[in-house]
Chain A
Amino acid sequence: MSTKRRRQSKSRRKKETRKLEEYRKRKLLADYEPSLNEIVTFLSSGVWRQSELVSSSLTEEDVLFLRRLLQVAQGHEGHIIMHPDTFKRLKGMEEIIKHSLVSHQSNLTAQSTSVKEAESQDLLSSSAATPDNILSRLTPTTPPQFGERLLLLILTKEERINIPGDLAEEFTEIVTKHGERYAKLWYYKQVVASAWPMIRKAVRLGLLAWVEEWIRRRI
């Protein structure tokens, strides 16, 4: 590695170490230290919509985890830039957690519990309460209806049996990992990409011949 590159990577590492120290100085929880990235990604996930979140599917561990996440995220408020949607979800999460606490009839109080109490209950040491596990247990989301209808218009009779199902499955996976907005963009991109061979054929055959073939393929 050249001297210049070595110097650049050293200064980058120093910057990262400084950032890390800054986060640690804030009131982070003793046991579990979710990274800021993890919190923002988790909160940005399109799954956290009040209307769709089924709070009864959350376990006690999930609820505790969410409370800690919320405490950490609230600690960062004012120090980080958050997308307006993320901020809204953060506020919405407070209501969801309150509702979940009531519905689970847990012995946790509505006031914020201390970290030591949570540690002594040993619930957060459970490997079950991680972002991926929680997200995977939530209700699968459905692809955009308009996109699905467009897809059914493009596909042949045989393709309609499998392709919409494949895209729906992958859509749910992508919502979990990257959020709903990204997933919708991805879905429409897939629809357009699948339509492209048909568009090329239409130009090649001429419009009338293409319409004839399109009708034939759908029957």
Chain B
Amino acid sequence: MNINKTKNVPAERGENRVSGKAELTRDLPVFTPAADIYENDDSLLVVCDMPGVEEKNVEIGLEDDVLTITGNQGEYHPENYQLVYQGYHTGIYRRAFTLTTGIDQEKIKARLSNGVLSITLPKSAAAKPRKIAIEAG
């Protein structure tokens, strides 16, 4: 899995059909994975459902406070069988979050298990809440 610190969004050819979102150059359906976000004093935890995605096909990028998660599902087609009923399509999972707290980029950890991607983003020291003592008087 790659963690790019400054990931550039690829330059697009043709027009953007969805305004505001950059299209992917590959002609695959793009899905928004369901995500859970948790936060405690030390870190942020982002959990995404990405079934069928192998570790090497996951890309996590953090640039300008925007966390972009991309997962490429492998196409599955059993040999000598024909598709009779299609309940779901395979394609690319992509989601971007704007982070409001400062993150220590060096310490980002990601784990892919059972089709679930968990990203732990430790807060930078400056972003941790500090207790301010109130002086009496």
Decide whether A and B are members of one complex.
no
Binding site for B on A (CB under 8 A): none
